[in-house]
Amino acid sequence: MASERVSATELTAEVVRLMLEGHSLSDVVEYMQKKNESLTAEEASAWAYSWFEQSADIPEKSRTGWCLEAYRELYRKMLEIGDFNGAIKCVTEIQKLNKTEIKPKNNTIPTKPETWTDQLMKLS
């Protein structure tokens, strides 16, 4: 039975989902090959590694904002299931992120340190 072909955009979204869910590179390569039979294992691996390289080029403020949002979502889910120890760990990680200094542009010195809510507001 032939596999269902998907567009590059759909394949990208699925690969990102698999990676964020913690699947191994071999799982991602297998998925990519099932969806696009013309891909070799080497091509699929190179494509997945390229995605990681592009992810590393995200500006620091964006990465910090993404982490804060991810911790917020984890915190919410931990509270929902009653994992209060996990929720406390999320709060601790959020505090650590708040202590990281984000270098301002043009070597200017901010008058007050930004809070994580300030950072989130600038992202929206």
Instruction: Give me the tens of pLDDT residue by residue for the chain, a chain 124 residues long.
Output: 445 566 666 777 777 778 778 888 788 778 877 877 676 767 766 777 777 788 788 888 888 888 889 999 999 999 999 999 999 999 999 888 877 655 555 555 555 555 655 655 565 5
Q: Is residue 2, in this structure, part of any structural domain at all?
A: no
Q: Are residues 46 and 97 in the same domain?
A: no
Residues contacting residue 102 through CB under 8 Å, at least 6 positions apart: 60, 61, 64, 114, 119
Alpha helices in 57-104 (DSSP H): 60-81, 84-99
What pTM value is reported for the model?
Answer: 0.47
Q: Is residue 84, in this structure, part of any structural domain at all?
A: yes
Q: Are residues 66 and 117 in the same domain?
A: yes
Q: Are residues 79 and 52 in the same domain?
A: no
Q: Is residue 3, in this structure, part of any structural domain at all?
A: no
Q: Are residues 46 and 70 in the same domain?
A: no
Domain count, the chain: 2
pLDDT score recorded for residue 20: 77
CA distance 121 to 51: 28
Q: Which domain holds residue 16?
A: 8-56
